[in-house]
């Protein structure tokens, strides 16, 4: 796997956990209640999935060999993105801090 491939995987791990580490929408916009609901986190996760997809597509285009992708590719990468988000989800919702 090339350096660009490892870069996109590392970027996906970071972006998948971003919705769970802060209380701001897209890490920039403060919310009125001060707390982000699970629905906002899910919406943010979907937005980040498409951002990472666009970065991956740009890196693939720069390498010069664009491949046609079917729905199976997007289903697998969406599931992989959810797996990458598991550490952030675990810390946010399953670990009890005292």
Structure confidence by residue, pLDDT tens digits, 37-55: 889 999 999 999 999 999 9
Beta bridge mates, 30:
24
Domain boundaries, the chain: 3-94
pTM, full prediction: 0.88
Gap between the terminal Cα atoms of the chain: 42
Are the C-beta atoms of residues 20 and 41 closer than 8 Å to each other?
yes
pLDDT of 1-46, one tens digit each?
588 889 999 999 999 999 999 888 888 888 888 788 889 999 999 9
Residue 33, pLDDT score: 80
Return the ∠ at Cα 28 (arms to 45 and 39), rounded to 5°.
35
Residue 17, pLDDT score: 95
Residue 4, pLDDT score: 81
How does residue 61 score in pLDDT terms, banded at 50, 70 and 90?
Answer: confident
């Amino acid at each position: 796997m090339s350096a660009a491939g490892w870069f996109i995987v590392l970027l996906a791990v970071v972006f998948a956990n971003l919705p769970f580490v802060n209380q701001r929408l897209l890490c920039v916009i403060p919310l009125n209640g001060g707390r982000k609901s699970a629905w906002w986190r899910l919406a943010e996760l979907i937005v980040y999935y498409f951002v990472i997809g666009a970065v991956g597509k740009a890196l693939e285009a720069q390498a010069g060999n664009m491949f046609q992708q079917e729905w199976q590719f997007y289903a697998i990468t969406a599931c992989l993105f959810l797996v990458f988000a598991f550490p952030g989800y675990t810390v946010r919702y399953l670990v009890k801090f005292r």
